[in-house]
Chains A and B, each alone.
Chain A
Amino acid sequence: MANIQETIAKQFAEAAFTEGDQLLVNIPDAKWHDLARFLKETPELSFDYLVAIVGMDWTDEFGCIYYLTSTKYNTHISVRVATADRENPMLHSVTDLWAVAGIYEREVYDFFGIVFIGNPDMRRLFLRNDWVGFPFRKDYDTDPEVNPVRLDHEAVEDTTVTYVEDETGKVVKKDVTIFEPDDFVVNIGPQHPATHGVLRLRTAVDGETIKKIDLYLGYIHRGIEKLCEGLGYPQTLHFTDRLDYLSAMNNRHCLCLCIEKALGLEVPRRAQVIRVMMDELMRISSHLLFIGTFCMDLGATTMLFYALRERETILDILEKTCGARMTFNYNCIGGVIADLDENFVADVKKFIEIMPKAIKEYNKIFTGNVIAHNRMDGVGVLSKEDAVSYGVTGPSGRASGWACDTRKTNPYGIYSELEFDEIVRTEGDSMARYKVRIAEIEQSVRILEQLVDNIPDGEICAKVPKIVKLPEGHWFQQVETARGAFGVFIESKGGTSPTRMKFNSPGFCLAGAIDHLTRGAKIADLITIGGSLDYVVPDIDR
């Protein structure tokens, strides 16, 4: 880390450094783009993966914290960029360096009103265009009179704006056309069988060929991050179950880890083992649902029922312990909320037995099918460079050859003690994404096999103070959910509730890559590609 600091300090005299859970670089906005380019393009740094952009309002200034990772050296760095202008806050965009920044910066603009100079599309992302104010600013007026529930249609515009700097350094606003007037634009979603939730894709087609897709988000935006700012830490936990409801356990695990890291809390061994087992059960159930719905999208309806049959056993296991089949409310700060059901071990053993047979059956009925191959082979190819640039993590990223499994790169919990393989394929097409998930089910079963007989006795939860107060500072934690790397950012000023909490969801990046993946594909391929990315809309919208 000292090495990185020296390299940066040599080039950028203005940079100030703070040690935290990651090295934090403070840089003025004027030098930010140069630093970003330096960080990405210097061979000994090569921070090629933009993990997150966290918009911040420090009351005296606006800004962002950028989290960067080098996929080559597995090093991490964070950069703090701020502007003191509260009237017209502007920062420089890094869209040209990391493709995923495009959608991240739109989110920050939507919440904080920070304009990014050079971002090609500066529209709101989640909220309506007629929304008054920027809700994450600390001086935001929450009066319902200002933003009443609007019942009228939101006008659809085919243009957007961008801000560019001219030669004199003055920022000019420019109009950009999204769709030409004579484009045949099909509105896929928000209510559409294949968008897996309320996601809207305005699709310009030429016959059956897709020319361009414009993504509309926010149909189930609930402002979870904003709500967290008014709640105590134990109260924020349940929101994570409602983000990516198919990786509920993993999400909650992440937030608990982040809070525990801030508190310096040691989690009992039994709780850690239980957490990992639950995570893996959750991952299998999510992948099973993926197999089912993906095949159904391709028209093979029967596979859905085959996959749901096995998923049902997992839900039964979870239900016995947690009392719920969907939003489990199981992890808590310091451990888990309740002990395992007495049949848990027997049930999991039974499940470990049936799963390999079931996978054989799936392969027999679907994977080898010639139509399935025709539909998936070479469809929606994502190169490794693009996967990193678009921040496509999880099985989708690994199908492109990017070994991005957080359980391997930055092990948390007891993952470092477990034996399992990280599945990486190189094709990068829909078939690879499907096959990676099938293989990951097998690996998860392997993890369960190692743990099922080795659940230690002891406490299920550490001693946690009645009122959870985090010390001053900020923390970032990532875990591997079924969809990819899920991150939690917490900034605390020492109170009982966070001043900023950010959920960095994998589905968001997946949705951001859709336009890139579908250019020139057929309409039917859009369904294949969308299905194979396996995004979950509440995870995107938050």
Chain B
Amino acid sequence: MYDLSVITTWIHDLLSSFMPQWLTVTTECVLIGVGLLLVYAVLALFYIYFERKVCAAFQCRLGPNRVGPFGVLQSVADMFKILIKELITLNHTDKFLFALAPFLVIIASMLAFAVLPWGNGIQVIDFNIGIFFLIAVSSIGVLGILLAGWSSNNKFTLIGALRSGAQMVSYELSIGLSVLTMVAFAGTMSVSGLVEAQHDVWFIFSGHIPAIIAFIIYIIAGTAETNRGPFDLPEAESELTAGYHTEYSGIHFGFFYLAEYLNLFIVSGVAALLFFGGWMPLHIPGWESFNVVMDYIPSVIWFLIKAVALSFVIIWFKWTFPRLRIDQLLSLEWKYLLPINLCNLVLMVLIIVKGWHF
């Protein structure tokens, strides 16, 4: 496994060789910020293209195929279009909150990016409550959605926002509890610690039945958290036109759109971290040569492949299932997922205490 922290340390040493310490830190922050933004934008473009192609395949269509080879430049063209679109200002809206809402949504997903385990040694912040931080910041997003719905002064957006509030708050519980199950299993909240703990076997294999249950619940709740079908009630097209972002135009709408795809990436990234070893290559105890071969594949590639594969599953949900109704959505969470999750946590603790895991 090539440790990419060699590069980051080299950059740090280079900068501090001719700069005072405060300037080094500032420069590094700027560099990381630019880097993250770049990854953010590129990932969003990739995801838009990816979803359109996948959904086209499910629907017996070709998908984008005009701009560039196989239509790969389609999302770039779309981004350009959305950038030059007019920002329509509305009367009778709360102007400040209206403008603030898309940024809150996007900031939430940006912050979550900071703790994702991108590769061996290239994590922006790695502190002992990493996963806790991730859950905390990803909850800011719902605030943006609520504000968007409220400030638009439109009944459809208001209903969309209220649905979103109810949905996000409920499913946050499931996410939190299934994450907690895995944290209990790993014994650490630090992201790098979680990855290291999966050096020999990924948690989904070593964690026995509770890990699999936690994974299933996590992926359901994660789909709900990202407001994607079959849980896309806040923006249910056939009911509420576009839900909370009905009144947004141009790049403000684009922010919501981007955030939705990036949240998809974050949810699948965290699933990869908790259950599939983050950037950790696939290791099978006893198969030494196989493990060495796997180690040759760069860790960044491992992480991205896992995240995209899990996103594929979530996209698959969206293009297969019909949408739930709000009361069914809430009863699924409170009557089924939550009790199962609590029992699962107890089961996991039992397994850890008795040492029944692999």
Contact = CB atoms under 8 A, between A and B. Distances in A.
Interface of A: 184, 186-187, 192-194, 208, 295-302, 304-306, 309, 365-366, 369, 371-372, 374-375, 522-527
A184 B158 CA distance: 12
Given A186-B156, A305-B61, A366-B322, A299 B232 contact: yes
Nearest to A366: B322
26 contacts: A186-B155, A186-B159, A187-B155, A208-B159, A208-B326, A296-B238, A298-B322, A299-B229, A299-B230, A299-B232, A300-B320, A304-B59, A305-B59, A305-B61, A309-B60, A366-B322, A371-B321, A374-B325, A375-B324, A375-B325, A522-B326, A523-B159, A523-B240, A525-B325, A527-B238, A527-B239
A374 B324 contact: yes
Contacts of A524: 233, 236, 239, 323, 325-326
A228 B352 CA distance: 82
B60 A306 contact: yes
A420 B221 CA distance: 48
Contacts of B55: 301-302
Nearest to B240: A523
Interface string B145-165: 000000000011001000100
A429 to B, nearest CB: 14
Interface of B: 55, 58-61, 155-156, 159, 163, 229-230, 232-233, 236-241, 319-328
| Closest A-B pairs by Cβ, 4 of them | A299-B323, A298-B322, A305-B59, A300-B322
B322 A372 contact: yes
A300 B239 contact: no
Contacts of A194: 238-239
Given A302-B59, A305-B60, A371-B322, A297 B155 contact: no
A457 to B, nearest CB: 39
B326 to A, nearest CB: 6
A298 B320 CA distance: 11
A184 B155 contact: yes
A524 B230 CA distance: 13
Contacts of A296: 238
Given A186-B155, A522-B327, A524-B326, A192 B320 contact: no
Contacts of B320: 300, 302, 365
Nearest to B319: A302
Contacts of B61: 305
Contacts of A301: 55, 59, 319
Contacts of B155: 184, 186-187
Contacts of A369: 321-322
A301 B55 CA distance: 10
B175 to A, nearest CB: 21
Contacts of B60: 305-306, 309
A304 B319 CA distance: 11
A299 B322 contact: yes
Given A208-B327, A301-B59, A304-B59, 11 more contacts: A193-B237, A299-B230, A299-B238, A300-B321, A301-B55, A369-B322, A371-B323, A375-B322, A522-B327, A523-B239, A524-B325
A193 B327 CA distance: 22
B357 to A, nearest CB: 32
A91 to B, nearest CB: 39
A192 B241 contact: yes
A295 B59 CA distance: 13
Given A301-B59, A305-B59, A305-B60, A374 B238 contact: no
Nearest to B237: A193
Contacts of B59: 301-302, 304-306
B281 to A, nearest CB: 35
Contacts of A522: 325-327
A192 B236 CA distance: 12
A365 B60 CA distance: 14
A298 B323 contact: yes
A365 B322 CA distance: 10
A527 B320 CA distance: 19
B238 A371 contact: no
A207 B326 CA distance: 11
A234 to B, nearest CB: 41
Nearest to B324: A371
B202 to A, nearest CB: 30
